[in-house]
Amino acid sequence: MPPLKQVIWKLAPRDEPAEFELARAAGIHSLVAAVLRARGITTPQAVRDFLSTDLNALRDPFELPDMRAAAERIVMAVGTNESLLIHGDYDADGITATALLARFLGKLGADVHYYIPHRINDRYGLSPYAIQQAVARGVKLIIAVDCGVSDNDEIAQANSLGAEVIVIDHHEPGPELPDAIIVDYKRHDFEGEADDLAAVGLAYKVAAAVCTLLEMPVASLQRAFFDLVAIGTVADVVELSGDNRIMVKWGLQLLPKTRKEGLQALLSLTGLAGELTAQDIAFRLAPRLNAVGRMAEATDAVDLLLEDDPDAAMKLALRLEGYNVERQRRQALIFCEAEAMVCEEVDLDDEPVLVLAGDDWHIGIVGIVASKVVERFPRPAFVMSRKDDTWRGSARSVEGFDIAAALRQCDDLLLRYGGHKLAGGFTLPVENLQDFRSRLNSIGRDCLRPQQLLPTISIDCEVDIGDIDPDLVEALGLMKPFGRGNREPVLMSSSVEVLDVRTVGADGKHLKLLVGEGHRVFDCIGFSMGPQAHWISRGSRIDIAYTPEFNEYNGQVSLQLRLAAVRPANR
């Protein structure tokens, strides 16, 4: 953990009369009202809209640009028995989107083929090789999902060979759109409103539009595919609000009883059963789907999601598990090198953006290492590996630094690039590395204030620790699923007494506290906070930021506080 003085506690103000009125009018717990008010949800109708998971509230897919043209072209292709190619991407979002469209179009009787590029051997985006091979097999329609909006040359190639292209993408387009049917709400010419959908969410919308044209029930489509939508949406870290919140919430309910043999095998391997959370997807399921795309052929992951034989599905799931173990090993090694590079070579006071390069770093892992670097040093990170005379890399960001915009400002230094506000990929000539680093840091100095580069704990409200009880935990559960745009509630209690302090786990990695006030006593667990134990003593007073939750152990359920931060009282 960083030194205490480097962590900013950002506490939202409270207005208790307004909270009680909102709670009364909306029929919710007063502290839930306090949390929602802290997040800008201040009217009874806004509360009802946020908490609702009514499937009828999903946006009409035809509100999206080019949706009708895309759906009509797919209906025509199915009706005339055209061969289709679904060209996806190698991350969990692209994998689930590809599997969804392949399953859906296959059920309609279409002649479906799919292609997932190799992260190392292929470049990002549409593959010229895949286009050539598809056209040679007689494919007349290529559906690019989670890629394509910036692939002008490749789409022109497909058109010249006699194939039409539908792009289903959520990335930022370039200055000119390619000559294709483009379902992307980030198109510069789109003036409507849309949620920040992942590619798998857009793929579902396309399927729903096709069902509508064919006068098929959309409800059955939801039951069939919201499990995949939930996985891809959570994995791609888009905001869990609007349609995303509704689809993920329903998908989490469907996952434990999914009929997809591949998902059943993954759930079995990870030990997941019963009620699932978005965190189960983020930390248990998605890493295994992503790992194969990082280490080998992501096609294996699509094959798993399409497999109908239980034995074959388990074999594929075990293969993914092996890749994930190897990914974890290599990730740890590369992150250690990257962390040392920052500590030894970077002036953090002068460089708001971290640009890190390693000759032998595995290209499939640099993206997740970039995420870890951002966690360790809260600032944008561009992490890359060398291949011949180019650097290929991935970027992750913090609020206030737009990756896609920054890459556009480096257009003259780059060979290829793409992405969105918080993440992206790029390729540049080896000789441009220093200019790339200098320009990114110049951009960073213009848009990032020093305060934005410090770890921050966002606290929804300060409460008396005596107000924490099981009813509150259940009431806060109405806000699930938690993720980007709807983080878990964090509460704060000041000057609580420490009754016991110790560390648990390997090498004392985790912090275990017993705190209380009056007759109320609470167990606290602080994951990866073991180093904080040295300054905490029995009988001392501390402030705690935490999420109250139920802890189940050996069949017993108890209330505990999961710590986000601790500090001495009276700061």
Residues 6+ apart with CB under 8 A from 329: none
Q: Which of 133, 29, 124, 19 is nearest to 85 (CA)?
A: 133
Q: Which of 94, 136, 29, 140 is nearest to 478 (CA)?
A: 29
> What is the mean pLDDT of the segment spanning 108-124?
90
pLDDT, residue 1, reads 41
pLDDT, residue 123, reads 73
Structure tokens at 225: 């595919």
Confidence category of residue 120, pLDDT binned at 50, 70, 90:
confident
pLDDT in tens, 289-332: 999 999 988 999 999 999 999 999 999 999 999 999 999 999 99
pLDDT, residue 2, reads 42
Distance CA 313, CA 297 (A): 16
Distance CA 166, CA 87 (A): 10
Q: Which of 423, 92, 397 is nearest to 234 (CA)?
A: 92
* Cis peptide bond upstream of 481, omega within 30: yes
What residue type is 345 in one-letter code? E
315: phi then psi, degrees, rounded to nearest 5: -60, -45
Distance CA 330, CA 324 (A): 10
The answer for 518, left when phi > 0, alpha when psi is -120 to 50, beta otherwise, is: left
* Whether the predicted pLDDT of 3 surpasses 50: no
Q: Report the residue count for the chain.
A: 571
* Whether the predicted pLDDT of 174 surpasses 90: no
The CA distances from residue 35 to 196, 484, 525, 528, in Å, are 23, 16, 22, 26
Q: What is the DSSP letter of 501?
A: E
Question: How many Cβ atoms sit within 10 Å of the Cβ of residue 458?
Answer: 15
pLDDT in tens, 351-392: 999 999 999 999 999 999 999 999 999 999 999 999 899 999
Q: What is the DSSP letter of 173?
A: P
What residue type is 568 in one-letter code? P
pLDDT, residue 121, reads 82
Distance CA 503, CA 498 (A): 14
Please provide the DSSP assignment of 229-282 as one string. HHHHHHHTT---SHHHHHHHHHHHHHGGG---HHHHHHHHHHT--SS--HHHII
pLDDT, residue 527, reads 95
Residue entry with tokens 């630094």: 401
570: phi then psi, degrees, rounded to nearest 5: 65, 35
pLDDT in tens, 189-200: 999 999 999 999
Distance CA 156, CA 490 (A): 50
Q: Which of 563, 521, 491, 484 is nearest to 240 (CA)?
A: 484
Please provide the DSSP assignment of 542-565 as one string. EEEEEEEEEEEETTEEEEEEEEEE
* Whether the predicted pLDDT of 91 surpasses 60: yes
Task: List beta partners, residue 181.
Answer: 166
pLDDT in tens, 55-66: 999 999 999 999
Confidence category of residue 169, pLDDT binned at 50, 70, 90:
very high
pLDDT, residue 7, reads 84
> What is the mean pLDDT of the segment spanning 96-117?
97
Among 125-139, 391-405, 412-426, the range scoring the smallest mean pLDDT is 412-426
Walk across the sheet containing 181-183 and list its strands: 111-115, 83-87, 141-145, 164-168, 181-183
Distance CA 121, CA 138 (A): 25
Q: Are 108 and 82 in contact (CB under 8 A)?
A: no
* Whether the predicted pLDDT of 4 surpasses 60: no
Q: What is the mean pLDDT of the chain?
A: 94
Q: What is the DSSP letter of 486?
A: B
pLDDT in tens, 520-565: 999 999 999 999 999 999 999 999 999 999 998 877 889 999 999 9
Distance CA 559, CA 563 (A): 13
pTM for the structure as a whole: 0.90
- Please list, residue by residue across 261-289, b when 16 or more beta carbons sit within 10 angstroms of its beta carbon and e when fewer do: bbbbbbbebbebeeebbbebbbebbbbbb
Q: Which of 428, 53, 506 is nearest to 242 (CA)?
A: 53
The sign of the CA dihedral 364, 317, 145, 184 is negative
pLDDT, residue 262, reads 97
Q: 546: buried, middle or exposed (CB in 10 Å: 19+, 13-18, 0-12)?
A: buried
pLDDT, residue 571, reads 66
Structural domains of the chain sorted by starting position, each given as residue range(s) with its CATH number in brackets: 4-11+456-568 (2.40.50.460), 57-318 (3.90.1640.30), 336-453 (3.10.310.30)
